[in-house]
Amino acid sequence: MSTMRLLALVSAFLFSIGTAFAQISTIAVAANMKDAFNEIAIAFKAGGKPEIKVVYGSSGNFATQIMNGAPFNLFIAADEQFPLELFRNGKTTDDGEIYAIGKLAIITKNSSGIRLLDSKVDIAKAIGKANKVAIAKPELAPYGRAAVQYLKAEGLWDLAKDKLVYADNIGAATTYVVSGAADIGFTALSLAKSPEVMKQTSFLLVDAKLYEPIKQRMVLIKGAPQESVDLYRFMQGPQAKSILQKYGYTTP
């Protein structure tokens, strides 16, 4: 084989590797979306799209990481505040789109003996009986912020505040209850409806009038590859919306 032909083959091989790597989009997804987005990612890939790398966590932490140059291509957040902050700082292509409205729920582990009934008095009794109440850190996680708003609106903050255990994101707060580390907790309805969570817990939907609407926005980060743009558009389509609705979200 001639040297020129060998170099051509090596170049073609390296180009193919580079192209493959370029196709892997890294997506930052708020923890409340984990089960729903897992299904969305499968549906997206089933349409012939390439693999994507998904990282779950708190919206606040992701916003800080993106501000500091973390290599995310699409940010699917749990609120509007953090994506719009990135937009104002010139990190995104535009101000993005609201893709879902989230709902807050209270969960309790079935083995705890604590029952959740739909009245302020019954919820107060449940909190009073609990040793620990799990919420996500309100400064990092919109569902944690909504939980604090609810407790204050219902006059339950003083009863609950000394029992609160704070998790970095809503997924971790949910795990505290499932594992028994907390007796009750506040979570996203989407996580409360997860089959694995429902095996061990019961949930009560919180009155949405008692906290600010959880408008969940997504934004493309500047320089995002075409695969991220395709996923961004897919999130606004009927297939993704159907999955989101299955997990209790309201869609635009």
Euclidean distance between CA atoms 136 and 164, whole angstroms: 10
Confidence (pLDDT) at 23: 56
pLDDT at 8: 40
Which residue numbers in the chain have pLDDT < 50? 3-4, 6-21
Residue 199 amino acid letter: K
At 131 the pLDDT is 95
d(Cα 144, Cα 135) in Å, to the nearest integer?
Answer: 5
| Alpha carbons 165 and 127: distance in angstroms, whole number | 13
pTM of the model: 0.84
Distance CA 170, CA 106 (A): 12
| CA–CA separation, 164 and 182 (whole Å) | 9
Give the model's pLDDT for residue 116: 83
Give me the helix-helix angle, 238-246 and 34-46, nearest 10°: 150
pLDDT given for residue 101 in this prediction? 98
Residue 2 confidence (pLDDT): 52
Q: Which domains does the chain have, with CATH numbers?
A: 3-101+215-246 (3.40.190.10), 102-210 (3.40.190.10)
Rounded distance between C-alpha atoms, residue 173 and residue 135, angstroms: 5
